[in-house]
Amino acid sequence: MKEQIQAITNAYKERQLAHFHHLHAHPELSFEEYGTSAYIKETLTKAGVTLADGIHGTSVVGILEGSEPGPTIAFRADIDALPVEEDNDLEYKSTVPGKMHACGHDSHTATLLTFAELLAEHRDLIKGKVKFLFQCAEEKLPGGALGLCEDGAIDDVDAVYGLHCSALIPLGEMLSNEGPNSACIGIYEVKVHGKGGHGSSPHQAVNPVPAACALASSINQILAEKASPLEKAVFTVSYINGGQYPNIIPSDVTLGGNIRTFNNELTDELFKQLKNFCNGICAAYGCTCDVTTTVGYPATINKPEETAIVRSAIEGMGYSWHSAEPALGGEDFSYYLLKKPGSFFSVGMQDPDKVATAAPHHNCHFKLDQRGLLIALELELAIYLKELERR
């Protein structure tokens, strides 16, 4: 299978690079990917890929059907860029001031576009249906994956796969894992209400500052009491704002932060306890409060069977597989995995000769080793063929 896959994908190397260069040079921010969406639609239509109806916003879903019955397998690429000014000397450098593909989404999109073209020209490889999910706004809440799920894009899907190209993982090395891959992100804000007054007469006011300070210094106790000691989780107070002058007691103080866990149910429980905790402490200081909570993205939980297919595809292509340590970052691919089985994995694209100067994601110097693009394409085809083998 390795030789067959490489023989097919090598013919698409230049086409994939051309897509990558175009997308990198024309970045667009979350929910604003109009030109990117148009480019995707034009490419898919030219290749003979059907565009799904009923998809809202800037996301695009392509569909290919084979002549034989089989499963419906979906592959996802996120298409949005970041508000970062690129500082790389590249022929295909961003042409848009203040915007850059600084997280590799251009590589994801170029790979999936090329994969769609490849299968459109090798329909004999298809059994059942393949869906290509070009998803907007991974970088901005509520996330484009949620919208595609609401549009029914994966209702008929049997399994869904996503990859993330990494500038911090060596070229030719891949990371995947069964179970939690990225965290559930909980965002909270507490507005503490008191009664403003003159600094010389605190007895005539109800000072919200001590109440807010008490909350900020003790809020982590919720995690200690409600989470198992074996859970990996953080409960952070990230900001506290209130008051401006030494002789004015403010009426309100606001504080907030985030919770990150690998357990969606635990996040819900922590939010519930947060509201009780804040109401109790504020009442003790004679204050009231409003607590606002938002789930950013749920935890991404990879399923065992699909993760085994990812590993088999990686090793079958002769690349190095490593078990990934779950990361407390967020990823809206999680929404797909709440509905359907699937797996999310990382593809190493760090230049082995430039390890010391490799920039992290979301950095103005972020850069991928372009040799990794063909590897990503090989793996998408290998995963698809492995899926057909098991059904």
Across the range 226-235, mean pLDDT stands at 89
Per-residue pLDDT reduced to its tens digit, 17-54: 999 999 999 999 999 999 999 999 999 999 999 999 99
Does residue 151 carry a catalytic annotation? no
Query: Is residue 231 flagged as an active site residue?
Result: no
List, in order of start, the domains of the chain with CATH numbers: 2-182+300-389 (3.40.630.10), 184-295 (3.30.70.360)
pLDDT at 229 over 90: no
pLDDT in tens, 160-172: 999 999 999 999 9
pLDDT in tens, 198-220: 999 999 999 999 999 999 999 98
Residue type, 111: T
Catalytically annotated residue among 28, 78, 106, 138: 138
| Distances from the Cα of 317 to the Cα of 132, 149, 282, 383, 388, angstroms | 22, 32, 59, 10, 17
Please write the tens of the pLDDT for every residue from 283-303: 999 999 999 999 999 999 999
pTM for this prediction: 0.92
pLDDT for 391 equals: 80
Hunting for tokens 């007469």 — which residue is that?
201
326's tokens: 């779950």
Among the options 80, 139, 178, 387, which is catalytic?
A: 80
Sign of CA dihedral 18, 20, 26, 32: positive
* 194, 286 contact by CB (below 8 A): yes
